[in-house]
Structure 1
Amino acid sequence: MAGQTDSTMTLFSSEEIEFMAEDEMAEIVPNLRMDSLNFICGDYGPFLPQLAAQVPLWLALALKKRGKCTIRLPQWMSVENLTRVLEAERDSHAFQPLPFHYVEISRLLFDHAREDIPDMYMVRSLIEDIRDVRFHKVETNLEKFTASTVTWKNMSAMEVNVIRAFAGRALQAFYKHDNEQETPDTDRTPNKQPQIPTDRPKRNLKPR
């Protein structure tokens, strides 16, 4: 079914890709004053009530769970934008520009910040439709895959994860097939008697 992936066909699990997506930046609106937060990856803050700030998604989710902020919906997740993207996906063979981790970001926001998403059910439905249409394109492209150079732009992490695993195995098969064609068939090569060299000197014949 479109939109579903087999874990044996991918290099990373959905949990691993989601973990990487948490490094994407998100905009929060704190509801209280907080000092700067210092991490190995960087410093964030200080935070003031009702003043928007940019933080990694993992930090936004952590503050959200503690009731210290709300998360602003990214512009690309608006109903208007998703409707336009869905129509363009259906009308074109190309992939429309979306964040590389759009699937994982939206899933995390649906799970942990649904009250911050206006028209949440409509947004979720549109993203699922977009994901299904795009995954159908992935399946179609894989059916036409050849060893020649191909270019697929604007693909998401989930889609790249599926194609990378398949393409690696396909290229190995192409390489093996080409090598087998270049290897001479010894069964069809005519047998020739090997010439055995000899170190014995030539004997001069006596004239009669």
Structure 2
Amino acid sequence: MAGQSDHSLSIFSAAEVEFIAEDEMIEIVPNIRMDALNLLCGDFGPFLPQIPCTVPLWLAVALKKRGKCSIRTPDWMSVEKLTQVLEAERESPREFQPLPFHYVEISRLLLYHAHDDIPEVYMVRSLIEDIRNVRFHKVESGLETISGRTHAVKLKNLSAMEVNLVRPFMARVLQAFYKHDSPEMVQQADTSASKRPQVVDRGPRRDLRPR
């Protein structure tokens, strides 16, 4: 039963967070001529050789897998920008640097599917891993400061994956703090945590991107 309770507090799995991140827009450079795609989530294209256009990440990966485009690395994924972020993260033990909300998922997908399009890819991979480690350490340090008198915890600029990791821990901690003072609050928290959000069905587009 304890295992089931812990699982119910984990609102999204890592795969579900990544699924949501695939709707982020990214720039590609097609190498083929193709008419516009009219999908439930929007219209994209037409696609012309060497003419950049913006599409959802899932579509960019699907086209990349078929050799129909290259993917332009986002500006924040350059070695210069990532180095600046890493230095700032290390110099500010209580602050998180602003990064895209889905930086973890976007970088993972691009490093896996479009590594040949990323300049200095090994350095980029290393920097992102270092940034993740520094930020996760800050999250842990921030949670360690929680006491029985804590009514709110402010962690600004957290990413989606970081929020997902913090949420179940925070729910358990706050339940432990308030269970004697306010049983009603604990009951409401248990009821909310057990309701797992449904992932939106994006229809037939998954046919474009088999795993």
Q: Which moved more, 1:159-168 or 1:66-75?
A: 159-168
Q: Is the 8 A contact 1:7 1:13 kept in 2?
A: no
One-letter amino acid of the counterpart of residue 137, structure 2? H
Distance 1:71 1:88 in 2: 28
Distance 1:106 1:85 in 2: 15
Deviations 1:77-109 (A, max 9, x none): 000000000000000020000011111111101
How does the TM-score come out when normalised to structure 1?
Answer: 0.80
TM-fit CA distance, 1:151 = 1.5
Q: Is the 8 A contact 1:79 1:123 kept in 2?
A: yes
Distance 1:107 1:9, change over 3 A: farther
Question: What's 1:159 paired with?
Answer: 162
Question: What's 2:138 paired with?
Answer: 137
What's the secondary structure of 1:96's corresponding residue?
coil
What's the secondary structure of 2:180's corresponding residue?
helix
Answer 1 or 2: which has greater helix percent. 2
Question: What's 1:188 paired with?
Answer: none
Q: Is the 8 A contact 2:9 2:171 kept in 1?
A: no
TM-fit CA distance, 1:8 = 8.6
Of the two structures, which has the highest relative contact order with CA contacts closer than 8 Å and spacing of 6 or more?
A: 2
The total of aligned residue pairs comes to: 175
Q: Is the 8 A contact 1:33 1:48 kept in 2?
A: yes
TM-fit CA distance, 1:169 = 1.6
Q: Is the 8 A contact 2:99 2:157 kept in 1?
A: yes
Question: What's 1:37 paired with?
Answer: 37
Distance 2:59 2:18 in 1: 14
Q: Structure 2 matches for 1:1-208, cutoff 5 A?
A: 10-92=10-92, 93-146=94-147, 147-179=150-182
Q: Is the 8 A contact 1:26 1:55 kept in 2?
A: yes
TM-fit CA distance, 1:7 = 7.7
Identity among equivalent pairs (%) = 69
Q: Is the 8 A contact 2:85 2:131 kept in 1?
A: yes
Higher radius of gyration, 1 or 2:
1
Distance 2:146 2:169 in 1: 10
TM-fit CA distance, 1:179 = 3.7
How does the TM-score come out when normalised to structure 2?
Answer: 0.79
TM-fit CA distance, 1:33 = 1.0
Q: Is the 8 A contact 1:11 1:162 kept in 2?
A: no
What's the secondary structure of 1:27's corresponding residue?
strand
Q: Is the 8 A contact 1:9 1:162 kept in 2?
A: no
One-letter amino acid of the counterpart of residue 34, structure 2? M
Aligned CA RMSD, in angstroms, stands at: 1.7
Distance 1:177 1:106 in 2: 43
